[in-house]
Structure 1
């Protein structure tokens, strides 16, 4: 019997986990795998707002994944085979998706744990998944992708993360495909707690700045993919689309792909499992 994917929200805010689950609704309707397990950190921090928060949340969550026995929620039918009752959360699932848009250390640390035990369980972060998906959508030389995210601190963190992921260790190396990062100035929690009109305004402004950056000084570049740079942005695609249409017009505005790392990550993991990669 196939085992489900484990989707991990490494902060303690249940509402964010629920948003991630809601974002995957249509994908799960056609998935060939059992219904995934959605995990919210039982301890740690409510919102990951910087690199320090990434490491703190990894320290808090990893022991739970490695030591907590899996037990299916009472509200759903068990989707794991009977022999998995004694397994930890990490071992009872076929793959793990870390639903935090960052260079989250939980990805590499959990992968290292699997490697030590000769397990081939794939682990993927939504940040890395969004980059992979975006690159696949860029076809013309002038096409660019970029990221919209929360607080200003993420600009440098995510920019370095993209460079490292693409192997451009030299800070001076030019990334022609990457337009950059634009921020809303909001935390992940504020995305849901602030008035919707204010969130929409800030999100649209960030998208329009990203479009301008993609054009470049000579106006030849074009934004073709926008990554939603926070798991808390799940479900905000319509606002991003509206900003693209306002800035580029109806035709060109609808040519911009909106990449949700949660959706991209889940589909990538399912594809890896089905093709036995």
Structure 2
């Protein structure tokens, strides 16, 4: 495998959140990074982007703020310098569609995806286990449910009733990593995602959850619960598609 270079974009302006995500993802992909099969660059939205994204209005503002740095050929974050761009917001983020709209009129093979679509695609491919999402604030519940149900589910998943919906932890994005909130997150997952919805796969539906999958798994030993770090699966999917694009374009 030739080296795949992926840009992970945190589309809000919280540098601390980007730093936490970067630390976790670099640890998870240590083998690939050490072997030089993968290179990662992390970007934070400019100061004009919202500090956190908590709904449609802030999503639109963040897309407007971030698109110029990804489409400026002189920018270190210019999309065509990378094999893939992962928009690290767990939503049908408008930045994905806007960047793809720019790319479609070019010859670029840069892969562009978001956290929601890559996570749901993973569950679609498993195609046997009930799954649900745990997210941050309550405003995301109807937004995510509508996006998943209108765009991302396969007919097989629908026919088997594997999709169980979205649950809110009722914790703001930037507070998800605070140690004092961990017990509340565990309690919500136990009562809602596992006991009520009977989920076997639980998608950590916010980049702010990144790095918590191991700690959460330890809270439910022997239950057969899989916690999906949405940033980690996003990087993996983008990496796989970008590598395939390179292989089919090689002479």
- Whether the TM-score (by the shorter chain) exceeds 0.5 is yes
CA distance in 1, matches of 2:195, 2:159: 18
Larger helix proportion of the pair: 2
Q: Give the TM-score of the pair, scaled to structure 1.
A: 0.79
Indicate conservation of the 8 Å contact 2:194/2:200, yes or no.
no
2:46 corresponds to 1:42: yes
Specify the structure having the higher radius of gyration (Cα).
Answer: 1
- Given candidates 238, 241, 251, the residue that maps to 1:272 is 241
Indicate conservation of the 8 Å contact 2:80/2:108, yes or no.
no
Alignment match, 1:11:
12
Q: Give the TM-score of the pair, scaled to structure 2.
A: 0.86
CA distance in 1, matches of 2:95, 2:126: 27
SS for the counterpart of 1:162 is helix
Alignment match, 1:29:
30
CA distance in 2, matches of 1:15, 1:113: 29
Alignment match, 2:193:
210
SS for the counterpart of 1:185 is coil
- Given candidates 50, 59, 62, the residue that maps to 1:54 is 59
2:173 corresponds to 1:188: yes
* Change beyond 3 A, Cα 1:39–1:4: same
Indicate conservation of the 8 Å contact 1:133/1:259, yes or no.
no
- Given candidates 194, 212, 235, the residue that maps to 2:211 is 235
Indicate conservation of the 8 Å contact 2:130/2:201, yes or no.
yes
CA distance in 1, matches of 2:174, 2:52: 6
Query: CA offsets, 1:216-260, max 9 Å, x none?
Result: xxxxxxx221000110111112443244x2xxxx32x2x111111
2:169 corresponds to 1:165: no
* Change beyond 3 A, Cα 1:102–1:68: same
Indicate conservation of the 8 Å contact 1:10/1:100, yes or no.
yes
Indicate conservation of the 8 Å contact 1:66/1:89, yes or no.
yes
CA distance in 1, matches of 2:79, 2:165: 34
- 1:21, CA displacement in angstroms? 1.0
CA distance in 2, matches of 1:70, 1:33: 24
CA distance in 2, matches of 1:150, 1:202: 12
Alignment match, 1:219:
none
Indicate conservation of the 8 Å contact 1:97/1:126, yes or no.
yes
**CA RMSD, 1 decimal:** 2.3
Alignment match, 1:201:
183
Alignment match, 1:83:
none
- Specify every segment of 5 or more residues in structure 2 that has no aligned partner in the other structure, as ranges: none
Instruction: Give the 4+ runs in structure 1 shifted more than 3 A.
Output: none
SS for the counterpart of 2:173 is coil
CA distance in 2, matches of 1:180, 1:51: 19
How do 1:63-102 and structure 2 match up within 5 A?
Answer: 63-67=68-72, 69-71=74-76, 89-102=78-91
CA distance in 2, matches of 1:14, 1:165: 31
CA distance in 2, matches of 1:30, 1:157: 36
- 1:179, CA displacement in angstroms? 1.1
